[in-house]
Structure 1
Amino acid sequence: MTTLMMILGIVVFAVGLLVSIAWHELGHLSTAKLFGIRVPQYMVGFGRTIWSRKKGETEYGIKAIPLGGYIRMIGMFPPGKDGKIESRSTSPLRSMVEDARSAAFEELQPGDETRLFYTRKPWKRVIVMFAGPFMNLILAIGLFLTVLMGFGITQQTNVVSSVSPCVIKASANRDTCKASDAESPAHAAGLKPKDKIVSFDGVPTGKWNTLSDEIRKSAGKTVPIVVERDGKRKTLTATIVTNQVVKKDSSGRVVDGYVPAGFLGFTAATGVVHQDFGDSVTWMTDRVGDAVDNIVALPGKIPALWDAAFDHAPRKPDSPMGVVGAARVGGEIFTMNIPATQQLAMALMLVAGFNLSLFLFNMLPLLPLDGGHIAGALWESLRRNVARVFRRPDPGPFDVAKLMPVAYVVAGVFVCFTLLVLVADVVNPVKIS
Structure 2
Amino acid sequence: MEILLYVGGLLFVLVGLGVSIALHELGHLVPAKLFGVHVGQYMIGFGPRLFSRKFGETEYGVKALPIGGFISMSGMYPPSPEGADGEHTASRGAFRTLIQDARAANDETIDPGRASRVFYLLPVWKRIIVMFGGPFMNLVLAVVIFTVLLSGIGVQQGTTTIASVSQCVLPAGSTQTACAASDPIAPAAQAGVKPGDRIVSVDGTAVSTFAAASAIIQASPGRTIPLVVERSGARVTLQLTPVAAQRQAVDGNGRAVVDDKGHAVMHTVGYAGVGAQVAYVQQPIGAGVEQAVTNSGAVVSLIANLPVRLWDVGVSLVTGTPRDPNGPLSVVGVGRIAGEVAAADAPLLNRVAVLLSLLGSLNIALFVFNLIPLLPLDGGHIVVALWEGLKRAWAKLFRRPPPKPVDATRLVPLTIVVAGILIAMGALLLVADLFNPVKLPT
Question: What TM-score do you get using the length of structure 2 for normalisation?
Answer: 0.87
Aligned to 1:32: 32
In the TM superposition, residue 137 of structure 1 has moved relative to its aligned partner by: 0.8
Aligned to 1:243: 246
Deviations 1:115-145 (A, max 9, x none): 1111111100100000001011111111111
Deviations 1:59-104 (A, max 9, x none): 1110011111111111112234327678223232333322222221
Correspondence for 1:337 among 330, 338, 345: 345
Aligned to 2:200: 198
In the TM superposition, residue 107 of structure 1 has moved relative to its aligned partner by: 2.7
Larger mean CA deviation between 289-298 and 83-92 belongs to 83-92
Is the aligned partner of 1:2 residue 2:2? yes
Distance 2:346 2:171 in 1: 31
Instruction: Evaluate the alpha carbon distance shift between residue 330 and residue 379 of structure 1 in structure 2; reply closer, same or farther with a 3 A threshold.
Output: same
Distance 1:144 1:116 in 2: 37
Structure label with greater radius of gyration: 2
Instruction: Evaluate the alpha carbon distance shift between residue 216 and residue 148 of structure 1 in structure 2; reply closer, same or farther with a 3 A threshold.
Output: same
In the TM superposition, residue 106 of structure 1 has moved relative to its aligned partner by: 1.7
Report the secondary structure of 2:388's partner residue.
Answer: helix
In the TM superposition, residue 280 of structure 1 has moved relative to its aligned partner by: 4.2
Instruction: Evaluate the alpha carbon distance shift between residue 75 and residue 151 of structure 1 in structure 2; reply closer, same or farther with a 3 A threshold.
Output: same
Correspondence for 2:331 among 323, 327, 341: 323
Letter in 1 for 2:144: G
In the TM superposition, residue 11 of structure 1 has moved relative to its aligned partner by: 1.2
Q: Which aligned pairs between 1:273-312 and structure 2 lie closer than 5 A?
A: 273-312=281-320
Distance 1:282 1:268 in 2: 26
Aligned to 2:87: 87
Distance 2:183 2:366 in 1: 51
In the TM superposition, residue 231 of structure 1 has moved relative to its aligned partner by: 4.1
In the TM superposition, residue 289 of structure 1 has moved relative to its aligned partner by: 3.0
Aligned to 2:75: 75
For structure 1, the 5+ residue unaligned runs are none
Instruction: Evaluate the alpha carbon distance shift between residue 123 and residue 159 of structure 1 in structure 2; reply closer, same or farther with a 3 A threshold.
Output: same
Q: Which aligned pairs between 1:158-237 and structure 2 lie closer than 5 A?
A: 158-163=160-165, 165-166=168-169, 168-169=171-172, 172=173, 174=175, 185-218=187-220, 221-237=223-239
Instruction: Evaluate the alpha carbon distance shift between residue 184 and residue 78 of structure 1 in structure 2; reply closer, same or farther with a 3 A threshold.
Output: farther
In the TM superposition, residue 305 of structure 1 has moved relative to its aligned partner by: 1.1
Distance 1:24 1:401 in 2: 24
Aligned to 1:365: 373
In the TM superposition, residue 361 of structure 1 has moved relative to its aligned partner by: 0.9
The total of aligned residue pairs comes to 428
Instruction: Evaluate the alpha carbon distance shift between residue 301 and residue 218 of structure 1 in structure 2; reply closer, same or farther with a 3 A threshold.
Output: farther
* CA contact 2:42–2:70 (8 Å) conserved in 1: yes
Larger mean CA deviation between 50-59 and 309-318 belongs to 309-318
Q: Which aligned pairs between 1:393-412 and structure 2 lie closer than 5 A?
A: 393-412=401-420
Is the aligned partner of 1:260 residue 2:260? no
In the TM superposition, residue 38 of structure 1 has moved relative to its aligned partner by: 1.0
Letter in 1 for 2:396: R
Distance 1:40 1:367 in 2: 21
Instruction: Evaluate the alpha carbon distance shift between residue 278 and residue 46 of structure 1 in structure 2; reply closer, same or farther with a 3 A threshold.
Output: closer
Aligned to 1:21: 21
Instruction: Evaluate the alpha carbon distance shift between residue 226 and residue 77 of structure 1 in structure 2; reply closer, same or farther with a 3 A threshold.
Output: same
Distance 1:355 1:192 in 2: 45
Aligned to 2:261: none
Distance 1:413 1:181 in 2: 62
Instruction: Evaluate the alpha carbon distance shift between residue 65 and residue 233 of structure 1 in structure 2; reply closer, same or farther with a 3 A threshold.
Output: same
Report the secondary structure of 1:227's partner residue.
Answer: strand
Larger mean CA deviation between 221-230 and 17-26 belongs to 221-230
Instruction: Evaluate the alpha carbon distance shift between residue 43 and residue 201 of structure 1 in structure 2; reply closer, same or farther with a 3 A threshold.
Output: same
Report the secondary structure of 2:112's partner residue.
Answer: coil
Aligned to 1:384: 392
Letter in 2 for 1:140: A
* CA contact 2:322–2:439 (8 Å) conserved in 1: no
In the TM superposition, residue 201 of structure 1 has moved relative to its aligned partner by: 2.6
Distance 2:26 2:149 in 1: 24
Percent identity between matched residues is 43
Letter in 1 for 2:10: I
* CA contact 2:79–2:106 (8 Å) conserved in 1: no
Larger mean CA deviation between 123-132 and 51-60 belongs to 51-60
Instruction: Evaluate the alpha carbon distance shift between residue 357 and residue 112 of structure 1 in structure 2; reply closer, same or farther with a 3 A threshold.
Output: same
In the TM superposition, residue 160 of structure 1 has moved relative to its aligned partner by: 3.6
Correspondence for 2:114 among 95, 109, 112: 112
For structure 2, the 5+ residue unaligned runs are 258-264
Instruction: Evaluate the alpha carbon distance shift between residue 190 and residue 367 of structure 1 in structure 2; reply closer, same or farther with a 3 A threshold.
Output: farther
Instruction: Evaluate the alpha carbon distance shift between residue 4 and residue 107 of structure 1 in structure 2; reply closer, same or farther with a 3 A threshold.
Output: same
Report the secondary structure of 1:118's partner residue.
Answer: helix
In the TM superposition, residue 399 of structure 1 has moved relative to its aligned partner by: 2.3
Report the secondary structure of 1:305's partner residue.
Answer: helix
Report the secondary structure of 2:87's partner residue.
Answer: coil
In the TM superposition, residue 330 of structure 1 has moved relative to its aligned partner by: 1.6
**RMSD over aligned Cα atoms:** 2.7
In the TM superposition, residue 242 of structure 1 has moved relative to its aligned partner by: 5.9
Aligned to 1:51: 51
In the TM superposition, residue 7 of structure 1 has moved relative to its aligned partner by: 1.0
Instruction: Evaluate the alpha carbon distance shift between residue 338 and residue 415 of structure 1 in structure 2; reply closer, same or farther with a 3 A threshold.
Output: same
Letter in 2 for 1:145: T
Deviations 1:340-364 (A, max 9, x none): 3443333222211111111011111
Distance 1:248 1:218 in 2: 20
